[in-house]
Structure 1
Amino acid sequence: MASVEIPDVTVIIGAYEAMPYLIPCLESVEAQTLGADRMEIVAVDDGSTDGTGEYLDEFAARSKVRTRVVHQENSGGPSKPRNVGLDMARGRYVFFLDADDYLGTEALERMVAMADRNGTDVVLGKIEGIGRGAPKSMFGRTLERTDVFSSNIKMTLSAEKLFRRALLEKHKLRFDQQLYTGEDARFTLEAYVRSAGVSVIADYVCLYIVRRDDGKHITQSGSYAMRFDSAKALMDLIAELYPPGEKRDELMIRPFVITLLPQFDHRWLKAAAGTRRDKLDLARPLMEKYWTPGVARRLKVPERLRMHYVAEGRADLLENHLTFLQEKKVPEVIRKGAEGKPYLGYPHFGDEAAGVPAEMFAVTVSEWVDGVRVTAPRGAAPQRAVPRPSFARRVVRKLRRMARGALAGRRPARS
């Protein structure tokens, strides 16, 4: 058991206008099986006016968990509160907990045990969304030790993980206070890369992430320009860590798929003309610098085509592609060559006037087309893990195909 002076875990909570979400958040820390004598809380009230600061003071006065509260002027984002908390932390490990989320009862005990057993520096605990989605692809099974290239952990870069504090201090890792969204992605990815190993707990829900009804969470309220800033910050970090090549391309998947692609989805079709142009302008320098054939080969065809059209500044082709997707049309699978190399017949495949290279339509990672898995020829490109649809979803797809077939069979023959 850790001494009073050095707790096992410092839970760092940055809180802004967090009521009433803060109440179950703090209750979940108090309820930890790790024990009050093995942890501490550092809570930073970031200029709240809704009673958040007062509640933190009341909690600190009565809780068995040692709690220190800092009151500061509003900083505009989560970075400064986390940095203040990290500077004050005394634990062997730190866990950054958002004030509107809460922990599973055994979360910290399991995470500390995992890190101590394996000597790993970062521990990811399974996440469940409350009123919102949650990352899943990296939680297929528990991993005692892994890294950023041997698993899909790069696809979850939120800060709500257990970090060995010695790692953060050794590399002087702090959150970028110039970023107001995506600041945790840069921090967490660097921690992954610098670490002596990462562990994944997949058999117990450690963290529940909550959708706020008031829309005050930064990921709900931030402008789209912030998303491009965060994409640039992460891409620049990856370029600092790795020279051009396979490793850089592999990590670049994350900012392209998670940050840039959503800026060019069905909502782009509905946006005003000025917003469309602005997004293409914001993306242009990133595409020029970091969009490479290696990154392109690692994406599914519909993802790759969207990014290709953005890179080329082809708003017309992007609009055609997004309209095809929005109408839920299914591309034809076209096989060419002796090996039957598969291509997907999205708009402008084979259209010489459009000038889109055929390789943009080639299947290079396994993907599902109308319930059928289409796989690239062996050795075509590095494969990215694609989760198989659930049994229920496969049954629904099969029933839909059967229904379409039955309907076709009932149609009268044309004269």
Structure 2
Amino acid sequence: MPYLVECLASVEAQTLAPARMEVIAVDDGSTDGTGECLEEFAARAPMPVTVVRQDNSGGPSGPRNVGLGKASGRYVFFLDADDRLGPEALERMVAMADENGTDVVLGRVEGVNRTAPKSMFGKTVGRTDVHSSRIKFTLSAQKLFRRALLDRHGMRFDESLWTGEDALFTLEAYLRADGVSVLADYTCYYLVGREDGKHVTKTGGYALRFDSARALMKLIADMVPAGDRRDALMVRPFLITLLPQFGPTFLTDDEDVRRHKFELARPLMDAHWTPGVARLLKVHERLRLHLVAMGRPELLLDVVRFVKAKKQAPAVLEKRGTRLYLIYPHFRSRAAGVPDEIYLAAAGEARAFEGYRAAAANTFLRRALRKARRMLPAGGFGSAAA
């Protein structure tokens, strides 16, 4: 409350026939009148509504699993109480899944007082997969899932995770799905920013983010063979979950927290940080994670300060313009010992600089990062082939 009122109104306003819908609302021990609001909604709603009232579980996984266990429809959609649906959302998403025979449908998301994912919604696509699109960059649970897929694989939200549980669930669904649809020409979901800032994803200590990264990396490693496809998927937990722990907040962390973050990161770097992942990142992202793999927090601080200042790193062109290095802190410092290759821009990042020639650059970068792996502490780039 009070966001729930508008959320329920958006359900009641759906153009999908009420006879084709069921609502399962789980009141997870609220103390703000939510339960009473749900009971009132159930009494007047034109579709069947089941209200479950339970003691607070502390996170979203438990309530979602309760709801999923009671669902009987062909599809399920997880709607958070502070968000809302576009009027035609369910009708359009169900039609998309039926037409294309896909197991997951992503409807376009619009942020209200907060940012929303955009890169995967460039155009409507009837059938794609996690390897051929950018859907790995939206792993929230607010998707349409074919229930038979979830039941066939016994999929449920991991109740041991306090954040990132939706990422784990959604990525597994992408990987197991017989096709994914993207509905980009209609706003299906309004992601609402709470005025009190009490979003689950913004609460909890930093250690929870490492738990989330660990679970997501393990899922990818277990389900996708080593190689380019695994590396491309690993970019997501490294970039979105792990790297922010070594961003501006690292400057304000005390020494004990910095040390602990490095300890938590080390097994993840040893197991999953490969040249194939590194080459897919921008230079400053790759450099920070390389320094984490090296166990060099004192060098990382200089890089984070530089990045926080939003300075444009100077560029050096070599080898007749086919190699472009971005001069972040510690470039060619003997004391630091960071290989040149870590500063080598891939073609996509280097094209912005006049005089750069892309020929053979990416191939060279692959070879160079393999060479850089040998300079890390044992296991620092992982054992998997890129």
Q: TM over 0.5: same fold? A: yes
Of the three residues 308, 330, 333, the one matched with 1:351 is 333
- The answer for the alignment partner of 2:319 in structure 1 is 337
Residues 375 and 111 from structure 1, CA distance in 2 versus in 1: closer, same or farther, beyond 3 angstroms? farther
1:42 aligns with 2:30: no
- The answer for the alignment partner of 2:94 in structure 1 is 112
**Which letter maps to 2:185?**
D
TM-score, normalised by the number of residues in structure 2: 0.91
Check the 8 A contact 1:330/1:370 in 2, yes or no.
no
Q: How does 1:138-157 map to 2 (within 5 A)?
A: 138-157=120-139
- The answer for the alignment partner of 2:165 in structure 1 is 183
**Which letter maps to 2:284?**
P
Residues 159 and 288 from structure 1, CA distance in 2 versus in 1: closer, same or farther, beyond 3 angstroms? same
Of the three residues 274, 280, 288, the one matched with 2:270 is 288
Structure 1, gaps ≥5 residues long = 1-18, 384-415
1:54 aligns with 2:36: yes
Of the three residues 262, 283, 286, the one matched with 1:304 is 286
Deviation at 1:220, TM superposition (A): 1.7
Q: How does 1:20-31 map to 2 (within 5 A)?
A: 20-31=2-13
Deviations 1:170-223 (A, max 9, x none): 111110010111001111001001111000011111111111222332112221
1:252 aligns with 2:234: yes
Q: Secondary structure at the match of 1:366?
A: helix
Distance 2:348 2:332 in 1: 22
Q: Secondary structure at the match of 1:123?
A: strand
- The answer for the alignment partner of 2:180 in structure 1 is 198
Of the three residues 245, 259, 268, the one matched with 1:277 is 259
Check the 8 A contact 1:298/1:381 in 2, yes or no.
no
1:168 aligns with 2:150: yes
- The answer for the alignment partner of 1:100 in structure 2 is 82
Deviations 1:232-275 (A, max 9, x none): 00001011102322121111000001101111111211222222
Q: Secondary structure at the match of 1:253?
A: helix
Check the 8 A contact 1:46/1:81 in 2, yes or no.
yes
Check the 8 A contact 2:24/2:51 in 1, yes or no.
yes
- The answer for the alignment partner of 2:368 in structure 1 is none
Deviation at 1:374, TM superposition (A): 7.1
Identity over the aligned pairs, expressed in percent?
61
Residues 373 and 43 from structure 1, CA distance in 2 versus in 1: closer, same or farther, beyond 3 angstroms? farther
- The answer for the alignment partner of 1:219 in structure 2 is 201
Deviations 1:4-44 (A, max 9, x none): xxxxxxxxxxxxxxx11111111101101112121110011
Deviation at 1:357, TM superposition (A): 0.9
Number of aligned residue pairs? 365
1:236 aligns with 2:229: no
**Which letter maps to 1:169?**
D
Check the 8 A contact 2:321/2:356 in 1, yes or no.
no
Check the 8 A contact 2:316/2:327 in 1, yes or no.
yes
Deviation at 1:293, TM superposition (A): 0.8
Deviation at 1:130, TM superposition (A): 1.0
Deviation at 1:367, TM superposition (A): 2.5
Moved over 3 A (4+): 368-379
Structure 2, gaps ≥5 residues long = 366-386
Q: Secondary structure at the match of 1:249?
A: helix
Deviation at 1:336, TM superposition (A): 1.7
**Greater length-normalized contact order (CA 8 Å, ≥ 6 residues apart):** 2
Distance 1:62 1:302 in 2: 55
Deviation at 1:375, TM superposition (A): 7.8
Distance 1:292 1:37 in 2: 51
Distance 2:161 2:173 in 1: 18
1:82 aligns with 2:54: no
Check the 8 A contact 1:363/1:376 in 2, yes or no.
no
Distance 1:251 1:269 in 2: 28
Check the 8 A contact 1:342/1:362 in 2, yes or no.
yes
- The answer for the alignment partner of 1:360 in structure 2 is 342
Distance 2:356 2:73 in 1: 49
Distance 2:25 2:71 in 1: 10
TM-score, normalised by the number of residues in structure 1: 0.84
**Which letter maps to 2:126?**
E
Distance 1:368 1:304 in 2: 15
Deviation at 1:140, TM superposition (A): 1.0
Distance 2:146 2:46 in 1: 24
Check the 8 A contact 1:297/1:365 in 2, yes or no.
no
Distance 2:150 2:122 in 1: 27
Distance 1:243 1:62 in 2: 51
- The answer for the alignment partner of 2:116 in structure 1 is 134
Name whichever of 319-328 and 371-380 sits farther off. 371-380
Residues 165 and 375 from structure 1, CA distance in 2 versus in 1: closer, same or farther, beyond 3 angstroms? farther
1:323 aligns with 2:279: no
Residues 369 and 191 from structure 1, CA distance in 2 versus in 1: closer, same or farther, beyond 3 angstroms? same
Please, what is the CA RMSD of the aligned residues?
A: 1.9
Deviation at 1:328, TM superposition (A): 2.1
Q: Secondary structure at the match of 2:259?
A: helix
Distance 1:91 1:100 in 2: 23
Deviation at 1:102, TM superposition (A): 0.5
**Which letter maps to 2:137?**
M
